[in-house]
């Protein structure tokens, strides 16, 4: 019975990490459904982007209030993991405050954790007020109804409770230290939880131990539960922001990629020595599908983008099409891509890893042509994203499909392309007619 708590803790730890590993494998499989793309270029620039954007939070602080609050939560999450390491080792070894021999350094660490925990609580409360009382416009868009709204609030509640449990645990521990309870040797400094200890005045040592142990267990089990909740939540960006910023676009922001097959055709047309009637070689590969109509037509970086989306709405709030009342929301593009990818993943789970056509696709069933054609390709959404997500690339690929596979462009665009093909210019006049003004 002496080792029962340790055994139960190890079982909980293995179960939590095991379930998390299972979800990570599923996540990796889904992302790899995308087409391969070479992102091995500009490695120094990619590392700088990851350090500057993901680690340094440089794009978050463009909006100072949200940026500062996010830094509190972000730093608190990173630093308090040291405290989580101690809890895990204590749970496995049956020790209490294993790092206490660090002395003054340990006191400084615990004090820092408590201050950060308080800052996280303050930030979480402010974020909740912005979402539910002030109701910032970007948080009440149509795509934020239902689960996205619930998920955003649920994350705030979880973070609030975890930090409160940490401070409660420390407050009870501090009280037990002062009462000289066995195994509760004096260690740590408690600048924040000291204000909670008066609530425990008059309680017996056994009651305080129950409170301290309950807070300890709920805190670590809550962290393990939250770790596994990430896969189902927008908070997955905690893990994916780093690879996403590394693999983010490093080309000039306005530069689009060209389809190799189309580029080769244009080169052939421009070559005066080429035979325009020559048949392709017998072993020539069949041209790939032009553009994208479903998630498997996108590349894996675009699918990584979809899973990394924080649903913060900065892209949508900067989008001129959205501001003028159009249906387009870059955030919805990323959320729809992720939802469709999850749907494909569930079909594969149900069919032993094989995808069975369900008669649905990303285009039309999730994203409408009206949304796609509302985009002005101004790149504002890409510039605004704090974790280097590129909604524009997905929009362009789907518009390519509509134009090149279905000839389903808007009439104005079809007319313009016909004029370019027939007249060499977007206007409905041939070259001779366009020069008539000279005679005037």
Among candidate residues 318, 304, 298, the one with its CA nearest the CA of residue 366: 298
pLDDT in tens, 421-432: 787 788 877 766
At 219, the pLDDT band (50, 70, 90 cuts) reads very high
Average pLDDT along the chain: 90
Predicted confidence at residue 256, as pLDDT, reads: 83
Predicted confidence at residue 417, as pLDDT, reads: 85
pLDDT in tens, 353-400: 899 999 999 999 999 999 999 999 999 999 999 999 999 999 999 999
Among candidate residues 300, 309, 376, the one with its CA nearest the CA of residue 336: 309
168, pLDDT greater than 70: yes
2, pLDDT greater than 70: no
| Residue 50 DSSP symbol | I
Tell me the average pLDDT across 75-99.
Answer: 85
Tell me the average pLDDT across 90-117.
Answer: 90
CB count in 10 Å sphere of residue 128: 15
Tell me the average pLDDT across 232-256.
Answer: 90
The per-residue DSSP string of 275-339 comes to -TTPPPPTTPPPPPPSS-SSGGGSBHHHHHHHHH-----HHHHH-HHHHTT-S--HHHHHHHHHH
Among candidate residues 274, 369, 13, 335, the one with its CA nearest the CA of residue 142: 335
Pairwise pLDDT comparison (278 vs 203), residue with the higher score: 203
Tell me the average pLDDT across 53-80.
Answer: 87
325, pLDDT greater than 70: yes
Predicted confidence at residue 431, as pLDDT, reads: 67
278, pLDDT greater than 80: no
276, pLDDT greater than 80: no
The per-residue DSSP string of 109-163 comes to HHHHHHHHHHHHHHHHHHHHHHHHTS--GGGSSGGGSSHHHHHHHHHHHHHHHHH
C-alpha–C-alpha distance, residues 355 and 348, integer Å: 5
C-alpha–C-alpha distance, residues 415 and 62, integer Å: 41
80, pLDDT greater than 90: no
Mind spelling out the 3-state secondary structure of 64-119?
HHHHHHHHHHHHHHHHHHHHHHHHHHHHHHCCCCCCHHHCHHHHHHHHHHHHHHHH
Contacting residues for 238 by C-beta, under 8 A, at least 6 apart: 77, 230
Contacting residues for 299 by C-beta, under 8 A, at least 6 apart: 34, 35, 36, 37
434, pLDDT greater than 70: no
φ/ψ of 203, rounded to 5, equals -80, 150
At 16, the pLDDT band (50, 70, 90 cuts) reads very high
233, pLDDT greater than 70: yes
Predicted confidence at residue 133, as pLDDT, reads: 96
Tell me the average pLDDT across 175-188.
Answer: 87
| Residue 367 DSSP symbol | B
User: Of 87-96, 166-175, 406-415, where does the model show the most confidence?
Assistant: 166-175
Predicted confidence at residue 350, as pLDDT, reads: 94
pLDDT in tens, 120-147: 999 999 999 999 999 999 999 999 999 9
At 413, the pLDDT band (50, 70, 90 cuts) reads confident
Sole residue written with tokens 């190799």: 260
Predicted confidence at residue 437, as pLDDT, reads: 66
C-alpha–C-alpha distance, residues 18 and 35, integer Å: 29
pLDDT in tens, 327-361: 999 999 999 999 999 999 999 999 988 999 999 99
Among candidate residues 311, 288, 302, 376, the one with its CA nearest the CA of residue 337: 302
């Amino acid at each position: 019975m002496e080792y029962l708590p340790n055994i139960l803790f190890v079982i909980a730890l293995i179960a939590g990490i095991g379930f998390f590993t299972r979800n990570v494998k599923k996540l990796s499989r889904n992302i790899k459904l995308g087409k391969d793309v070479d992102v091995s270029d500009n490695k120094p620039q990619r590392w700088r982007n990851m350090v500057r954007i993901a680690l340094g939070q440089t794009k978050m602080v463009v909006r100072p209030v949200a940026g500062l609050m996010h830094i509190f939560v972000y730093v608190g999450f990173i630093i308090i993991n040291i405290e989580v390491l101690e809890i895990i080792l204590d749970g496995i070894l049956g020790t209490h405050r294993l790092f206490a021999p660090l002395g003054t350094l340990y006191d400084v660490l615990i004090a820092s954790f408590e201050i950060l925990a308080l800052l996280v609580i303050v930030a979480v409360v402010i974020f909740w007020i912005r979402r539910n009382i002030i109701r910032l416009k970007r948080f009440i868009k149509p795509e934020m109804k239902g689960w996205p709204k619930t998920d955003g609030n649920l994350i705030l509640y979880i973070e609030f409770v975890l930090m409160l449990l940490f401070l409660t645990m420390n407050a009870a521990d501090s009280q037990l230290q002062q009462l000289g309870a066995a195994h509760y040797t004096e260690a740590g400094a408690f600048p924040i939880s000291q204000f909670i200890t008066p609530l425990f005045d008059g309680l017996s040592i056994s009651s305080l131990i129950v409170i301290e142990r309950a807070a300890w267990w709920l805190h670590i089990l809550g962290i393990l539960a939250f770790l596994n909740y990430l896969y189902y939540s927008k908070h997955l960006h905690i893990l994916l922001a780093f690879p996403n910023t590394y693999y983010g676009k490093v080309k000039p922001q306005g530069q689009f990629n060209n389809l190799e097959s189309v580029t080769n055709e244009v080169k052939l047309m421009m070559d005066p020595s080429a035979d325009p009637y020559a048949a392709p070689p017998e072993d020539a590969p069949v041209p790939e599908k032009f553009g994208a109509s479903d998630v498997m037509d996108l590349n894996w970086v675009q699918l990584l983008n979809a899973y990394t989306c924080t649903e913060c709405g900065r892209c949508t709030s900067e989008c001129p099409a959205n501001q003028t009342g159009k249906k387009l929301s870059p955030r919805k593009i990323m959320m729809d891509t992720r939802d469709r990818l999850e749907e494909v993943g569930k079909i594969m789970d149900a069919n032993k890893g094989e995808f069975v056509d369900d008669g649905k696709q990303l285009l039309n069933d999730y994203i409408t042509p009206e949304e796609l054609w509302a985009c002005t390709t101004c790149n504002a959404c890409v510039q605004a994203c704090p974790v280097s997500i590129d909604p524009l690339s997905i929009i362009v690929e789907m518009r390519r499909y509509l134009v090149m596979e279905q000839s389903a462009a808007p009439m104005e665009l079809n007319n313009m392309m016909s004029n370019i093909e027939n007249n060499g210019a977007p206007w409905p006049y041939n070259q001779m007619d366009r020069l008539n003004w000279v005679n005037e």
